[in-house]
Every structure is written in C-alpha cells, then in structure tokens.
Structure 1
C-alpha cells in the first residue's frame, strides 16, 4: 500500500507515516456503512444519544495527548490547541442536547379532524464527511456527531496533513462501543476520495475546503444528485465605527486575524475603520501584533506558530509583496521577528497593512495567514459597500456601542453570520452557513439536523 509522510511544520521533519487505502478498500468501507445503516437508523434515538455521549467522553479523556499531537501536525502553539478540544466538546454536547427536540415528529397545523398528519425526519444513509486541516476536530465534529445522532452512518476523511485526527475519532468511537460499520475513517488520496463520492451508496457529502475543491465535489456528485454541503472559507471583514471601544476592538481584531497563524475560514482578513478612529485603531493593532512571540509551537511562551506549509506562507508573502508594490504601507518590520520569520520556511511574522485598496490581492483573495489590511472609510454606507464587495460571504463583524445601528447595518451585509463586538467564533446554537463562494448548506444548531435528514410526510385518514 502507498504511504503518506506527514511533515511537521514545527521543525520541517517527518512526524508520522500513514498507509493510504486503495479504491477497493474504500469501496469495502462504503459496503460496511451501507450494511450497518438499517440497524443503526432503527436504533432508538436515546441509545444513539448514549453512544455518542460515550464517544465524546472517551475523546475528551485523551485531550492532553490529542492537543500535543495537534501542535506537531498543525504548528499551532501548544497554549492554543487545547481550545480546539474544548470547542469540539462544546459543539458535540450541544448537538447531543438538541437531538431529541430537533428530530421529533412535527405535527401539521392546524389539526384536521379525522386525519393524522405529521412530518418525520428520516436519515439519509451513508454520509461522507471530508474535513479540512486547519481545524480538523472542530470541522469534523460539525458533521459527524449530528449525522450519527440523526441515524446516518458516517465515513470520515481528514486532510492528508491531519490524517491521524481521524484515528482519534475512531479510537473514541471504539471505546464508546459503537456498532461495527456505523463510523469509519479512510486515509485516501484525491482520486480514491472521488470514487467514494461517485459511489451510489453515498447519500450526502459534507465538504470543507477550497472553492476549487467545492466545485470538484459538486461536479462529481451531480451525476447522481447526491446531497452536498459546502464550507469553503472566506475573506471576513470587520467594520470599526466611530463610537467603538478602540482598545477592545484592536485587541480582538488582531487575535481574530492572527490566531492559528491566520488559518481560519472565519478569521479577520480585512478591516474597515471610520476615518475618525482609523489612525488610533492602527496604532493599537500594531502594538498588539508586535507583542506576539513567533516560535516553536511546542514552547509554552509561543503565541504565533508556523503556517501549515512553506508554500502557504509563500502565498501570504506574495499578497504582502503585491500590496506593497501597489502602495500599501507595512507597519511591522519583519526583521524584528528574525531569525524565525524568513523566506523558505513556514514561519512568518504578523503584518498589518494600511493604504490598501480592493485592487490588491490582500483585500480580495483569501490570504489564510497572519496578515490584515486596514482601510479608511467615510461612513456606514461605504463600509457596507466594501464588505459586500467580495466573492465570499461567511462572516462579518461590527464594532460599535450602538446596537440599533449595528442591526441596520447587519441587515445590509451579505454574509452567513454578522457579529457585533466579537469575531472568529462559532456558537453551536446558531447555524453555521455561508453565501457566495463561502459555500452552501448549514451545520450546527437545530437547523443542522435538517441537512442530514429528509422530510417524510405522513398523511393518514383515521376516520372513514
């Protein structure tokens, strides 16, 4: 069997080797999932809830070793990786708590004498979850847990960089006593993943990744009308109004832009600041960013780790260079982060740019790195226009003390989520969704179950 070597961005050395499954082995996994589905869907919801709860308990019991492994795989500082395990638990337990209410039969209204009429949410079948590397547990849990609770069987494919994260799911499900075939994971390349998507026994695909990857999944699945959910990233914007708490906004915006080295689909990538507060905001943001410590992600003092690969860091470098060539001002001297930040490595200093425009790649393309542009605007209308001037539409954040104005602005913004005075966070009680190139479909919240089930109408005449 072919092997995949995972190189840690922390030190540029091989961390582990994974055996890749063949197309035949992948087909066998789908066969097992399809065979397990009838029994699993017939399993009482209370029993499914109990087993998934045991899975969460088993997973969290290994949180320390899981977090350390994640730092090696991702390069995320060890001070931050435990947060992903906490987020995993928060989302999983919330979806568990919502399962009974979200999956119960819905009576047709008004009641009609002589008839029993209701809608039942039935599971789809085998769900193929394709997760991204940047938050391998947070992304996967959004689909895996509600899909199983709803009565589907699941096959999980993690990204090659984070293949071992699927093993941690499998270990916890085994410890929980989940029946054979109900959850499986595959370490496969793109070609074999395509054969799985094409398999007529796959009922639904949940994909998180690039826009190009999303188009590929849709094209492959379209041959047989399989359901597809897509989360494809963003170019998330923030608008700082004249009445904002500048110190608070600066602290949170820099964290939203730099956390996980900027490798977050909902991370802040562009900021629009009212002209009256622009300079003060930039000054404060630069001071915060200069306080980051770039270094070994396994060192407790590190607050900014490497990007996942050198080519990912090179893309960010290219965006910064393009902006500079078109007149942008760079506010952080990269030399102050030497020797860690240097070309040819995945280590990259944080950067804040001003005098930016939408003619620059850094304000329109997804950078996915520790860089953010700050642009001066005259009023709310200009901010809304610029926020909406994007191919993406995942989240936007508003920084203001005026709730009423924020509500009016939010109604004009074309994104799946609008925050006020916070950013870069998924509340499991709210649907996670995007528009435009940020994708389609919904995960989390009660609505997340709707996309993993199909409505079935029952229309019984009980009196003749």
Structure 2
C-alpha cells in the first residue's frame, strides 16, 4: 500500500492534494500528548475553555475565502453555497459553547440533612472523531467543540476526500493558542484507525459514515468498554398531506432532495403525497427541478455540482436504471443538462414516479440527486411506507395541522421529525438515529452526556 493519500477532485478528475499517512511514531506521539494535555485541560475553568474554543471558531471563520473554493475542489459543492456550511459550523459551535455551563453543571438531588449529594459530569478522556467528506465542517464540529468544552482531548481523522478540512481545523486550533497536544489531526488509513480504537487509549469514538464502515467501527470497539457514537446515513422520507401549503412544500422538498447533489445523510430520498394533490405536486416538483444548472462548481451560476466521484454517480445511475426496468418513469430529460455525462461525476437531477418499495431506489440509500415520488391514500399508508425502511434518521411532514404532525411523528421510527422543513440540524435538539441510521447523540445538552461520564458524590458531613 502506498504511504500517500491522493485527493482526486470531482471537478476535473485531477489530483488536487497529496499528503503522507501518519507513521507509527506520529500516532504514538499524538496519543501520548493527547492524554497528557487532557489531564491538565480538564482542570481549566469552563470559562477559559469557552474562550479558547470561541477563538478557534473565529480563526476558522477568518479562513472563509480560502475554504469556500477548497470545498468546491474537494467535494464539488458549488461556490455559491460554500459559505453556508461555515454559517452552520458557527451556529452549532457557538450554541454548544453557550449551553456548556448548564449542560455540564452538577446535578443536585433533593437535599438530605447531613449529606452533600451531587452527580458531576467528568470528561471521558480522549475522543476520536472520524469525520466524513460530505459536510466536512458541520459533521466534525458536532463532536470537536463539545468534546473540548467538556474537558476532553480530540484526535481528528478526516476523510481522505477532505483532508484539507482536517488541516483547517488544526490551523484554527493553532491560531487560537489551544494548549499543545490537546488537538491532533491525523491522516490515517482504515487499519491505523482500527488500531487506535482497539488500543484502549481513546475513550470515545464518534463516527459519521456508511453502515458498512460503522459496522467495522463497532466491531473494533467491542469489548473495549469505550463509548461509540455512530451516525450512518438515511433514506429520509417526506410526507405531503392534502392540507399542505403546496408551493412551500415543493420548494423545500426540491431543495432537500438535491442540495449538495443529494449527498446528505438527511437528504430527502423518497416522497409520499396525498392522492388529492399528487398530480399538482409532481408537476410543480418537476418544473422546479428543471431549473437547476449542472456544471463546474467554481462557476457562480452553477447550482448543482458533480458528485464526489464517478463511481458515486455510477451507483446512482444504476439505481435509476434498475427502477426503470421495473416500471418506474423518469420525468427529467437529462439531455437538457449539458454537463451530464455518462461515466463522469456530473449527474443531472432525476425525478421518478410509478415507483414501489420493491425497487432499491425506494429502500437503499442513494446519496445522489434522485428522488422517487409515490401517491398515498392518507396518513396510515404514509406512516407504513415511511417506516418500511432499514433507516431512521429524519422524516418530514408537510401540513398545516400541528396536532396531526405530532400524532404522525409519534408513529414514525426516526431520530428527528420535521414539520414544514427538512434537511436541517437544530443544535438545540438531539441529533440521533434509529435502526441502521446509528446510535448515540450529538448536539444539544444531551450530546454532552455522550462526551462525559457521571460521577456521584455521597458525602456525609454530619456524624
């Protein structure tokens, strides 16, 4: 195996960056330094941790002009949207810093005479964050800033496709004058990552990625008595009721389906629409989809960039072709998108109807710019179809009836229920999944519970 990582840009297929994997000495140094630094860091007042983490956020935002085109070259996201990820990065980081005093405060049970009783939240130690390429700043910050705020040290292993993002995190921490050894960005292969997990020298692993890779992570952690958080993707549904605001539902579901070329764990990948409004919904949905501009992500006019690789695009093409063999109809003429080219990473958006759950397109994660739309007779059928999935990350309900949305949401096996919005993470709410979408929690005060351990104090001071 080569000792180098090559980052192949989906923009033109050329090598955009090349780096060397960490060697054994570098990994050992990082593990030792992280443990040493964490022992001192956890004693720093929370206000000092907050000041340093805030400075790191400021330092990252100061690099925006370099980061936006880098994202386009690394993952193909159009430059017109690049700054949006940094806004989300800041929102999540600032929120988690702000709520830390309350989230990490000791729990005080009802007083008992002669006793002092408390449950304190202690840091777990060193947290290994294994981050994906599709939202490389957002997914990583979900764990990194809260882990540091909780008193932990952090080792970041970023995806090879976004190795420059890991370097940006390291540079932001350096500019913020974070204590030496507290944060490390390591370029690791799969074998090295597994070895760190099995070493017993990290106490928490937070991974975002595929189900297959998550299974490997869980197997590596088995018997190590460490915490593991897995966010493994989804096949997220939208349900449009007859009373929905049609224009609002169409606009937001199109965006939820095709933003970032559909390469989002919580992208809309299947839609169920009440039969009464199904024809109108499909017509409007297709009309809006046709307005996308597929092309070079460095062009400000582009609204849909390439997928991360030709292989990723080929997988989606295969799903579409298989669905059509089994009776689905494609409503978008891909010839209208000049950049669409078989064998390339550039793939036009596609809308399929006459789909069923016998098709892989409606069951297996696509992670691309395609969506299937089915008519339903009402809430009961929609609930059954939304739950007919191995995934359960998020689901959205489009209605003007709040009570109905809550009632339906109670019946859906999912981590997040949206009403009249989709594809958004509110940092005040727990980000979690069920079934093959994973386990554990990031964001919100509950996220802090997965980066700390409870320590009870039962002190009898009157004898």
Compute the TM-score of the two structures, normalised by the length of structure 1. Answer: 0.99
4+ residue runs over 3 A deviation: none
Alpha-carbon separation, structure 2, partners of 1:414 and 1:445: 20
Secondary structure of 1:130's partner? strand
Shift of 1:27: 2.4
2:436 match: 437
Secondary structure of 2:222's partner? helix
Secondary structure of 1:223's partner? coil
2:379 match: 380
Alpha-carbon separation, structure 1, partners of 2:161 and 2:386: 32
RMSD: 0.8
Shift of 1:23: 3.3
Secondary structure of 2:154's partner? strand
Secondary structure of 1:202's partner? coil
Alpha-carbon separation, structure 2, partners of 1:386 and 1:164: 40
Alpha-carbon separation, structure 2, partners of 1:347 and 1:223: 43
2:126 match: 126
Alpha-carbon separation, structure 2, partners of 1:419 and 1:140: 23
Contact 1:286 1:332 in 2 (8 A): yes
Alpha-carbon separation, structure 2, partners of 1:281 and 1:44: 55
Alpha-carbon separation, structure 2, partners of 1:403 and 1:44: 43
Q: Deviations over 1:368-395 (max 9, x none)?
A: 0000000010010000000001000000
Alpha-carbon separation, structure 2, partners of 1:101 and 1:386: 40
Alpha-carbon separation, structure 2, partners of 1:170 and 1:343: 38
Shift of 1:37: 1.4
Shift of 1:223: 2.9
2:46 match: 45
2:143 match: 143
Alpha-carbon separation, structure 1, partners of 2:188 and 2:118: 42
What 5-or-longer segments of structure 1 have no aligned partner? none
Secondary structure of 2:293's partner? coil
Secondary structure of 2:271's partner? strand
1:390 match: 389
Shift of 1:25: 2.1
1:459 match: 458
Count the aligned residue pairs.
462
Output aligned runs, 1:1-20, within 5 Å: 2-20=3-21
Shift of 1:343: 1.0
User: Is 1:168 aligned to 2:168, yes or no?
Assistant: yes
Alpha-carbon separation, structure 2, partners of 1:268 and 1:87: 19
Q: Deviations over 1:314-337 (max 9, x none)?
A: 010011001100100100011111
1:152 match: 152
Compute the TM-score of the two structures, normalised by the length of structure 2. Answer: 0.99
Alpha-carbon separation, structure 2, partners of 1:94 and 1:224: 32
Alpha-carbon separation, structure 1, partners of 2:326 and 2:290: 24
Secondary structure of 1:66's partner? helix
Contact 1:130 1:157 in 2 (8 A): yes
Alpha-carbon separation, structure 2, partners of 1:175 and 1:24: 25
2:200 match: 200
1:187 match: 187
Shift of 1:19: 1.3
Secondary structure of 1:224's partner? coil
Secondary structure of 2:395's partner? strand
Contact 1:134 1:263 in 2 (8 A): yes
Shift of 1:43: 1.1
1:449 match: 448
2:223 match: 223
Output aligned runs, 1:20-35, within 5 Å: 20-35=21-36
Alpha-carbon separation, structure 1, partners of 2:278 and 2:24: 55
Alpha-carbon separation, structure 1, partners of 2:212 and 2:27: 23
Contact 1:23 1:195 in 2 (8 A): no
Alpha-carbon separation, structure 1, partners of 2:43 and 2:247: 55
What 5-or-longer segments of structure 2 have no aligned partner? none
